[in-house]
Amino acid sequence: MSAAGTDTARKARLRLWLCLLRTTRFVENALREEMRLANGHTLPRFDVLAALDRSADGLQMSALSQQLMVSNGNVTGIVERLVQDGLVERAAVASDKRATLVRLTALGRTEFAEMAAAHEGWVDRLLASVPPEDADLVSERLKDIRRQGDD
């Protein structure tokens, strides 16, 4: 491949990255606003509830932080507010007195199910111009990029 071809490919990939970034920010901001208007929740609260919903037995705070890729301090404040709202509960971990297990309450499961359904609808509306087969193709290509990082 010639130097010009390589330069063209690099520029195209840079434009792709910038487009992905702008689109991600656009979608995230739209979802953040929908979430706030619909039920007064934030995306970080939604993310914590989603992680807990995927783990029926709950998660230790450290595992929750790791899954969300944020600090323990960030998760602690969100969990505290969710406990106050009755959506999650804390439990001691018998094998580790320093660890705390966090899990959804019955109210948390019900409220999260409603939030998740609304969230899915918002995402569907925001990405409605993308045919399902294109969405699948782009998803696979993005997974390929992430797999490169695993090597």
Domain locations in the chain as residue ranges? 12-150
Report residue 3's pLDDT band, with 50, 70 and 90 as the boundaries.
Answer: low
CA distances from 51 to 16, 56, 127 (A): 29, 10, 23
Give me 127's structure tokens: 């990405």
Contact 115, 39 (CB under 8 A): yes
DSSP-derived 3-state class of residue 98 = strand
Give the span between the Cα atoms of 10 and 41, in whole angstroms.
Answer: 40
What are the DSSP calls for 34-73, one per residue?
A: HHHHHHS--HHHHHHHHHHHT-TT-EEHHHHHHHHTS-HH
DSSP-derived 3-state class of residue 103 = strand
Instruction: Tell me the whole-structure pTM to 2 decimals.
Output: 0.83
Least Cα distance to 122 among 51, 29, 54 occurs for 29
Chain segment 112-124, per-residue pLDDT in tens: 999 999 999 999 9
Of the chain, the percentage scoring pLDDT greater than 90 comes to: 77
Report residue 80's pLDDT band, with 50, 70 and 90 as the boundaries.
Answer: very high
Contact 5, 13 (CB under 8 A): no
Give the span between the Cα atoms of 31 and 91, in whole angstroms.
Answer: 31
Q: Does the pLDDT of residue 1 top 70, yes or no? A: no
Report residue 98's pLDDT band, with 50, 70 and 90 as the boundaries.
Answer: confident
Give the span between the Cα atoms of 88 and 59, in whole angstroms.
Answer: 11
Report residue 125's pLDDT band, with 50, 70 and 90 as the boundaries.
Answer: very high
Chain segment 43-74, per-residue pLDDT in tens: 999 999 999 999 988 999 989 999 999 888 88
Task: Please name the CATH architecture into which domain 12-150 falls.
Answer: Orthogonal Bundle (1.10)
Q: In sequence order, what are the residues at sequence separation of 6 or more whose Cβ sits closer than 8 angstroms to the Cβ of residue 114?
A: 39
Q: Amino acid identity, residue 116?
A: A
